[in-house]
Structure 1
Amino acid sequence: MENSRLSAVAEPASPAPATTAHDAVATGTADDPRALGLVSSAHFTVDTFSNMYAPLLPLLIPRLGLSLAGAGGLAMVFQVAASLSQIGFGRLADRWRPRFLLVGGPLLAALLLSLLGFARTPLELGLLLVGGGLGIAAFHPPGAMVAYRAGGARPGFAMSVFVTSGTLGFAMAPLVVAPLAEHYGLRATGWLMFPGLLVFLCFLWKAPALPAVDRTRSRKLRELRPVARPLALLYSVVVLRTMATLSFATFVPVLLTGQGMSVSQAGRAVAMYLFACGIGGFWGGTLADRFGPRRVIVISLVAATPFVLTAPFFERWTFTLLLAVGGCFLQSTQPVNVSFAQTLAPGHAATVSSLMMGAAWGMGGVLAPATGWVADQLGLRVMLFLLGLLPLAAAACAARLPEDRRVHAPAMPAEVGVAEPHS
C-alpha cells in the first residue's frame, strides 16, 4: 500500500478531481465484472447460512429442550460471533492474508452451519453457531474490499451489487431452510453444505485478487484519527438504521398474527419486507455514484420516515406495503455507507468495512431487544411508531458528514481481478 496520508482525505483545501474510468484503472481499480460476480455470489451463499438458525428454532426448541431464553441467548452469541467479531477480521485482512479469510470464511460457515440440524445438545448447537458465525465474520471485510475495488469508477454500484446479494440470500433462507427441515427432518440441513462447498471450490479455482499486504509498513489505528469524526457519524447512521430494520423484522410477525394473519402469511410478509430492502440496497449505491454519498444517505433516510411512521396505523397487507417501501429507502443507505467509509480510509479498507457492516450491524442487533421492553411498557404499535423516528436521527448524523467534494478518490496499490488457476 502506498504511503498516502489519511489526513489528505479530509482536507477541504481544494476539490479533488472526479474519478474517471481511466483514473480507476491507473490506480488499480479497474472494472472487473467477474471478480464482482464471484464475490457477490459468495455473499449470497454466506448470508443464506447466516439466517439458518431462526427458521429452525420451532424444530430445535422441542428437540433440544431449549427455553425461549436459552434460544435467545444462543441467538445473541451467534450475533456476536458473526457480526461484532468482524472488526478483528477486518484488521487481519488489512495486515495479514485477506485471501485466506475470503476463501476460508465461506467454507467454515458452510461446514458448521449446515450441521445445525445434527446438534444433540444445546452446547453442540452453541459451538456450531459460534464456529459458523466466525466463518461469516471472516468473509465480510475482505469481500467488501474486493467488491469496492472491482467496481472501478463505479464503487457505489459495485457495493450495491455486493450488499444486495447478501440481503437476498438472507431473505431466501427461511423460504428454503424451513420447508426442507419440516418435510425431510432436521438432518436434511446437511444437504445445504454443498452450495457452500461449491463456492469454496470456485474461489480456489479463480479467487479474486487482492492487493499484497505491505508488511514493511505498520498500519496503526491512529492513522484513522483524521477521519475519525466522519467514520463515527457513518457508524451512528448504520447502528440507528439497523436497530430500526431488525426490530421491524422481529416484531412484524407478532403484530400481523395478532391481526388475524396465519404464521405462514406473516412469514411471507416478512420476506416481502426483506426483498424490498434488497431492492433498495441495489439502487442506493448507483445513485451515490451519480449524486454523491452524503446526499443519497440523507434523502433516503428522510424519505423512509413517512412510510415507517404511518405504517403502524394500518393493518395487514397495507401495513406490510408501507413498511416495505420504507425498508427499501432505509436499506438503500447500506452500500453507500460502506463505500463512503472505504473512500475515507483506503489504507484500512477491510477495517472500516467491518465497522460499517459487522460491528454496526451487531451493535444494532444487540440494542434491538430493548425495543421489546418498550413494547411491553407502551404497546407494540407505539413502539413501532417510535422506531419510525430513528431514520430522522440517522439523517441528522448523516447531514454532518463532509461535503462530497471533500472526499478524495482512493489510490489503490494493486489491481483487483480474478486470479487465474494455478497450473
Structure 2
Amino acid sequence: VSTWGLSSVWILAPLYAGLIIVLYQIGKPPAALFERDRKQKSQSLSQMLEGRVPLALFLFMVCSLRLVPNMAMDKLISFILKDQDVSAFQIGLIQSVFLFSASAGMLLMAFRFKSGHEKLFMVVCPLLGIPLMLVLGWEGCPIWLMTLLLIPIGLILWGTSPAMVSYSHQLFPKGGGVASAITMGMAWGGGGMIQAKITSHFVALGMPQRAFHAIIPCLLLATVGAMLLPSLSSALQSKTETVETA
C-alpha cells in the first residue's frame, strides 16, 4: 500500500484469489468423504442447539461483553500513548506485552485447566478485571504502571477466554461447530462492535483513558450473565433425565 497506494488492492486481489483456488484443489477431500456426508441426515440449527436457541443467544451476549476489554486494549493503548508523544516503536512494544501475556495465559490454560470449572472462570475473571480497569482509567496512571498492569490483564481477561469455548462445547455437544462459532467468532465480533462505539466516543472527547471506566459495566454485566448460565453438571443431568424419559 505504501508503494502503490490503494491500487495495490486490485493487484493483490487476483493473486489471493488464485492462491485460494490452488489451496482448495490441493487440500480437497476425497470424493468418498463427500459421499459419506451426503448419506448423513443434515441437522437444523435448532437441532444442533437442542432447541435452546435463546440460551445460545444469551451465551453470545455474555461472551461478547466479556471480550470488550480484549478487543479495546490495543486501540486504547495506542491512542493514550500517542497523546503522550510516545514513539510508534515503544507503543508497539507495550502492546506486545499485553499480547504476549494473553498468549502465556492461554498456554497455561492448556496445561493446567481442569474441565468442570468453566463457569467459575467466566464469573470470576471479569470481576478480577474490574479493579485493573479502574487503575488504567485513572488519568494520572504512569506509563510504567500501565505496562505492568497489562500483564495480569492479558493473563486474566484474554488468557482465560478458552474456558468460554470449552463451556460452549459442553453445553451444546451436538453442535460443536456452532458452539465454536459463538465463542470464537461471533462473540469476538460482538465485543469488537461494542468496544468500537466506546473507544470512538471517548477518543472524540479527547479522553481515551476514560474508556477503561466505560468498559467496567460490560464486565459487570458479563459476570451477572455468566452467573445466570446453567452449570454444566445440571445441564448434563437434565439431558440424562430427558433421555431416560424418552
Give, in angstroms, the shift of residue 306 of structure 1.
0.9
The DSSP-based 3-state class of the residue aligned with 1:217 is coil
RMSD: 3.3
2:152 is the alignment partner of 1:265: no
Q: What CA deviation, in whole Å up to 9, does each residue of 1:90-141 have, x standing for no partner?
A: xxxxxxxxxxxxxxxxxxxxxxxxxxxxxx434445x479969xx7xxxxxx
Correspondence for 2:8: 121
**Cα pair 1:287 1:296 within 8 Å, conserved:** no
2:73 is the alignment partner of 1:234: no
Given the alignment, which residue of 375, 396, 408 partners 2:203? Answer: 375
2:42 is the alignment partner of 1:218: yes
Taking a change above 3 Å as real, the CA distance of residues 359 and 279 of structure 1, as seen in their structure-2 partners, is same
Correspondence for 2:176: 349
Given the alignment, which residue of 141, 153, 163 partners 1:326? Answer: 153
**Cα pair 1:281 1:335 within 8 Å, conserved:** yes
Given the alignment, which residue of 193, 196, 213 partners 1:366? Answer: 193
Correspondence for 1:277: 102
Give, in angstroms, the shift of residue 252 of structure 1.
0.4
**Cα pair 2:133 2:216 within 8 Å, conserved:** yes
**Cα pair 2:105 2:155 within 8 Å, conserved:** yes
2:230 is the alignment partner of 1:402: yes
For 1:377, give the aligned amino acid: L
Q: What CA deviation, in whole Å up to 9, does each residue of 1:128-157 have, x standing for no partner?
A: 79969xx7xxxxxxxxxxxxxxxxxxxxxx
Taking a change above 3 Å as real, the CA distance of residues 130 and 319 of structure 1, as seen in their structure-2 partners, is farther
CA distance in 1 between counterparts of 2:196 and 2:3 reads 23
**Cα pair 1:312 1:381 within 8 Å, conserved:** yes
2:131 is the alignment partner of 1:306: yes
**Cα pair 1:240 1:391 within 8 Å, conserved:** yes
Given the alignment, which residue of 295, 298, 319 partners 2:120? Answer: 295
For 1:385, give the aligned amino acid: H
Give the 5 Å matches for 1:75-86: none
Taking a change above 3 Å as real, the CA distance of residues 287 and 408 of structure 1, as seen in their structure-2 partners, is farther
Give, in angstroms, the shift of residue 373 of structure 1.
2.3
CA distance in 2 between counterparts of 1:297 and 1:279 reads 18
**Cα pair 1:241 1:391 within 8 Å, conserved:** yes
Q: Which runs of 5+ in 2 are unaligned?
A: 29-35, 240-246
Q: What CA deviation, in whole Å up to 9, does each residue of 1:220-244 have, x standing for no partner?
A: 1111254334423331232123332
Taking a change above 3 Å as real, the CA distance of residues 284 and 129 of structure 1, as seen in their structure-2 partners, is farther
Q: What CA deviation, in whole Å up to 9, does each residue of 1:332-387 have, x standing for no partner?
A: 33211111111122222112211211122123223332121233136212122212
* TM-score, normalised by the number of residues in structure 1: 0.47
CA distance in 2 between counterparts of 1:364 and 1:124 reads 33
Q: What CA deviation, in whole Å up to 9, does each residue of 1:144-191 have, x standing for no partner?
A: xxxxxxxxxxxxxxxxxxxxxxxxxxxxxxxxxxxxxxxxxxxxxxxx
Taking a change above 3 Å as real, the CA distance of residues 229 and 129 of structure 1, as seen in their structure-2 partners, is farther
**Cα pair 1:374 1:383 within 8 Å, conserved:** yes
Aligned residue-pair number: 224
**Cα pair 1:292 1:404 within 8 Å, conserved:** no
2:143 is the alignment partner of 1:316: yes
* TM-score, normalised by the number of residues in structure 2: 0.76
Correspondence for 1:244: 69
CA distance in 2 between counterparts of 1:368 and 1:401 reads 23
**Cα pair 2:105 2:158 within 8 Å, conserved:** yes
The DSSP-based 3-state class of the residue aligned with 1:346 is coil
Taking a change above 3 Å as real, the CA distance of residues 285 and 237 of structure 1, as seen in their structure-2 partners, is farther
State which drifts further: 353-362 or 363-372.
Answer: 363-372
Give, in angstroms, the shift of residue 287 of structure 1.
5.8
For 1:368, give the aligned amino acid: Q
State which drifts further: 354-363 or 279-288.
Answer: 279-288
CA distance in 2 between counterparts of 1:129 and 1:393 reads 45
State which drifts further: 266-275 or 360-369.
Answer: 360-369
CA distance in 1 between counterparts of 2:218 and 2:70 reads 10
Q: Which runs of 5+ in 1 are unaligned?
A: 1-59, 67-119, 136-196, 205-211, 411-423
For 1:221, give the aligned amino acid: L
